[in-house]
Amino acid sequence: MTQLNSLDFDPNKLTLTWADGSSSQFHAVWLRDNVLEEDARHKNGQRLFDWSELPRDFSMKSAEVDGDTIKINFNAEDRQSSYPIEWLKTYAYDNQAPEKSYEIWGKDLDLSLIYHDYKEVKKGGQAMCDWLKSVRKYGFGIIQNVPQEEGTVLNILNSFGFVRETNYGKLFEVRTEENPNNLAFTPLGLNVHTDNPYRDPVPGLQALHCLESNNDGGESVFVDGYNVAELLRQEEPIYFDLLSSYHANFRFCDGKADLKNRATVIGVDNFGHFTHILYNNRSAAPLNLPANVMEDYYIALLAYSDMLHREEVEVLFKLKQGELVLFDNERVLHGRKGFAGGKRHLQGSYADKDSLNSWINIWEAKQ
């Protein structure tokens, strides 16, 4: 039970002081917008009124504690609204940035947090939740002992969400091809990158399932783009501002598809939390920026690029036969060392992050 020490009333805001001595402000307009009564909320939880229908005087006539709730009368309307104190505590916004869903990492990341077992995950219970949460928190999670059967990557994505079909199909094959339309399908090493920044929207999740790997080399390199963006913010705040303010161009054209997108390399919200990283030298199209910004922007981009290649930010591992990695494609950059000889065959597919988070939310609400 949330304990309330005191309620300080002002017609335009309440100040609630909690048992631990901290306090939260709730403005009258916020309270009116969030009334919980049946005339304002459909039983499915959706708000029934539009903001344009609200009165323009939100001031409160009175507010009083009544058991576990606070009851409020507004001046402009003949309505009394009741708010559970617990609910107010949950949604308190004063000085509270929302909790970050992610934790940044560098080369010292404990990989035991990342590995999960197929037999457990496929049961769809806590092990599934743990796998998905490692993707939400660290940006990636690996399942071991996955059957080496083609198409399994689709079944696994469909177990919590929906496959994003693209011009590459529902899944794409990563193996050496004779006439590749993409460098991924050559044996060349690949610098760390995020996939498909040229799409609108960019795929939020990518899964890669290793069906065969008996070559030398070809190790995976993973880098937390949020970690490196944080380094840039600390070391070069002006560069950080450039990469998070100006939109870069991305493009992929193979004659059958001509995909273009414009977006910032670093996405950040008003609390300074990261929302995306898009970095792909291969599909970067000519920049179109104000001429007086161009040189500084390049200095910033080169600085970020150099930081992405610092040894301290890289995690290296070999994706073995029967392993599947699911990762946040708008956060974690992936690359690979070059390889020669032997066979290497992965199947990949894209999906979106909302389903992943929804799965976790629904599972945790049931526990």
Site residues for a second copy, 131-170, by CB under 8 A, read 162-167
CA distances from 8 to 5, 25, 26, 29, 347 (A): 10, 9, 10, 16, 60
74-77: long-range contacts (C-beta < 8 A, 24 or more apart)?
Answer: 74/28, 74/32, 75/11
Query: With respect to a second copy, which residue has the nearer C-beta, 271 or 340?
Result: 271
CB of 201 to a second copy, least distance (A): 3
294 counts as binding a second copy under rule CB under 8 A: yes
Which of residues 256, 311, 340, 367 is near a second copy by CB under 8 A?
256
Residues 230-249, mask of contacts with a second copy (x by CB under 8 A): ---------------xxx--
56-60: long-range contacts (C-beta < 8 A, 24 or more apart)?
Answer: 58/12, 58/27, 58/28, 58/29, 58/31, 58/32, 59/11, 59/12, 59/28, 60/9, 60/11, 60/12, 60/14, 60/28, 60/31
367 counts as binding a second copy under rule CB under 8 A: no
Site for a second copy in 113-132 (CB under 8 A): none
Using the structure block, give the residue that is written with the tokens 């006439």.
Answer: 179
Query: Are the C-beta atoms of 313 and 107 separated by less than 8 Å?
Result: yes
Which of residues 219, 287, 314, 337 is near a second copy by CB under 8 A?
287
Site for a second copy in 47-86 (CB under 8 A): 47-54, 56
What crossing angle do the helices spanning 225-235 and 291-308 adopt, rounded to 10°?
120
- Which is it for strands 247-253 and 220-224: parallel, antiparallel or unpaired? unpaired
Selected range binding a second copy among 21-29, 72-80, 146-154, 319-327, rule: CB under 8 A: 21-29
Which of residues 37, 235, 269, 312 is near a second copy by CB under 8 A?
269
Collect all residues with Cβ–Cβ distance below 8 Å to 318 and sequence separation of at least 6. 213, 218, 219, 220
Selected range binding a second copy among 137-145, 216-224, 252-260, 339-347, rule: CB under 8 A: 252-260
Selected range binding a second copy among 46-54, 59-67, 107-115, 208-216, rule: CB under 8 A: 46-54
2 counts as binding a second copy under rule CB under 8 A: no
313 counts as binding a second copy under rule CB under 8 A: no
Site for a second copy in 191-220 (CB under 8 A): 191, 198-202, 204
Query: With respect to a second copy, which residue has the nearer C-beta, 204 or 218?
Result: 204
The structure tokens listed for 316 are 């290296």
CB of 120 to a second copy, least distance (A): 23
Query: Helix and strand tally (H, E) in the chain?
Result: 9, 23
Which of residues 112, 234, 270, 367 is near a second copy by CB under 8 A?
270
**Residues binding a second copy: what is the number (CB under 8 A)?**
90
Q: Give 3-state DSSP helix, strand, coil % of the chain, rounded to 5.
A: 30, 30, 40
